[in-house]
A and B are shown apart, each in its own frame.
Chain A
Amino acid sequence: MGAPYLENKPCGGRYGDLVAAIGNTPLVELKRLSPKPGVRIWAKLESHNPTGSVKDRVARAMIEDAEARGAISPGQTILEPTSGNTGISLGMICSRKGYPLKVVMPDNVTRERTQLLEMYGAQIVYSEGAKGSNGAVELALEMAGADATYYMPYQYGNEANPRAHYEGTAVEILEELDEVAAFVAGLGTGGTLMGNGRRLKEVLGDAVKVVAAEPMQGEPVQGLRSLDDGFIPPIIDLSLLDRKIFVTNRDAILWTRKLLDDEGLFAGVSSGAIARVAVRIAGELDEGNVVFMVCDDGWRYLSSGIYTRPVDEIENLDSTVWW
């Protein structure tokens, strides 16, 4: 017997330019991950966005929101603290739209990151690596405070970030599935969880559980001097979450490998962590659809060796901020 017919679009759509082609990503069932027949696990492949990550949606929403408000016009410099995908997405979009981009990021990111940003013409300002993302946020806020000509979208506090998912990702999921028992995504800025969570709960009520997977950073990167130096992105509303579960670096990498080995899905480390939580939640259900986010693909992690080497031989496993 063949696989049941899946109604879907013959292609992702037709668009006038690359920025317009962001979104409308495939939703793919991962049958081998499902722990029981009545529970179906679906991966939303955000890696299919033009620069290869979910952050294309966020970057476009923030820039177009600022344009619509008249807050920016071509030629103005955009400044953003980001150690990865948001910078790459902003790089592509800003270069298309004529905005110079400055990205503040820790000085210890991989070469792929730096190259991708430079490739899109971004100027990089380095912050102290030991301070991680907190340090990049701090420095960018300082720079923006000192120079009013910068426009900082600030993904951690910009409502256009969750709105990109509320008006985009979640609508796409609901077009394909009438019922969602659980939605699982990574907790970083909170945009993905807040935007999708809000829309899914509005449409499906409490039948849908919104579940956050978050990185348990290794001890070497828990480098805060004091707990008062902590940071909670302003757009996060914890009351929207039903569960919040941490994943160790080791488990995140093991599950990234499992996605590749079992399903042929070449995804980034956060997606492995999110898949681990999705499968756990699936195991607690009797039936229903579990949707999880594949935030990016694996290309930009290749140099770390995580796809080819045994996990115990991976260098700096605990001292690396993997996602």
Chain B
Amino acid sequence: MATIKIPPVLRPSVGGEKEVSASGENVGAVLRELAKAHPATEAQLFSSDGELNRYVNVYLNDEDVRVLEGLGTAVSEGDTLVILPAMAGGGEGPPASTG
């Protein structure tokens, strides 16, 4: 079983939860189980060809799976998947605060 951290933008699709659990041998299987349990996430996570949506970044623990084996990246018991939207960064240290 892996823990999936849900970004604010996806929470309405999972009943407001910050994290959910799902199982699967790889990232694709875990995310498909998430989509099965919460169908509203499917169109947001996956493109029509079954790949990850362009603006969805998924991290296995803290590494982007696109740079690993993509949806085929193996997931072990106790791993955490973090879903984050792709956002513009300057790589230049603003700091800007919303607080």
Interface check B99, CB cutoff 8 A = yes
Number of A-B contacts (CB under 8 A): 178
Contacts A133-B87, A215-B89: A109 and B63 contacting too (C-beta < 8 A)?
no
* 8 A Cβ contacts from A147-203 to B: 155-156, 185-192
> Which residues in A have their C-beta under 8 angstroms from that of B82?
216, 246
Interface check B15, CB cutoff 8 A = no
| Residue among A129, A231, A323 making CB contact with B91, cutoff 8 Å | A323
A86 to B44, CA, bound (A): 33
| Residue among A220, A228, A231, A247 making CB contact with B99, cutoff 8 Å | A220
| Residue among A106, A109, A217, A238 making CB contact with B66, cutoff 8 Å | A238
Interface check A55, CB cutoff 8 A = yes
Contacts A108-B97, A319-B99: A83 and B62 contacting too (C-beta < 8 A)?
no
A304 to B99, CA, bound (A): 12
Contact B90 A84 (CB under 8 A): yes
> Which residues in A have their C-beta under 8 angstroms from that of B59?
246
Contact A224 B85 (CB under 8 A): yes
Binds B, one of A5-13, A66-74, A283-291, A295-303: A295-303
Interface check B78, CB cutoff 8 A = no
A82 to B59, CA, bound (A): 27
Contact A246 B62 (CB under 8 A): yes
A188 to B7, CA, bound (A): 20
A156 to B82, CA, bound (A): 25
Contact A244 B90 (CB under 8 A): no
A128 to B94, CA, bound (A): 14
> Which residues in B have their C-beta under 8 angstroms from that of A323?
89-95
Contact A188 B97 (CB under 8 A): no
Q: Distance (Å) between the CB of A271 and the closest chain B CB?
A: 9
> Which residues in B have their C-beta under 8 angstroms from that of A53?
92
Beyond A212-B64, A224-B9, A319-B97, list 8 extra A-B contacts (CB 8 Å): A188-B90, A192-B91, A224-B85, A227-B55, A232-B86, A269-B93, A304-B95, A321-B95
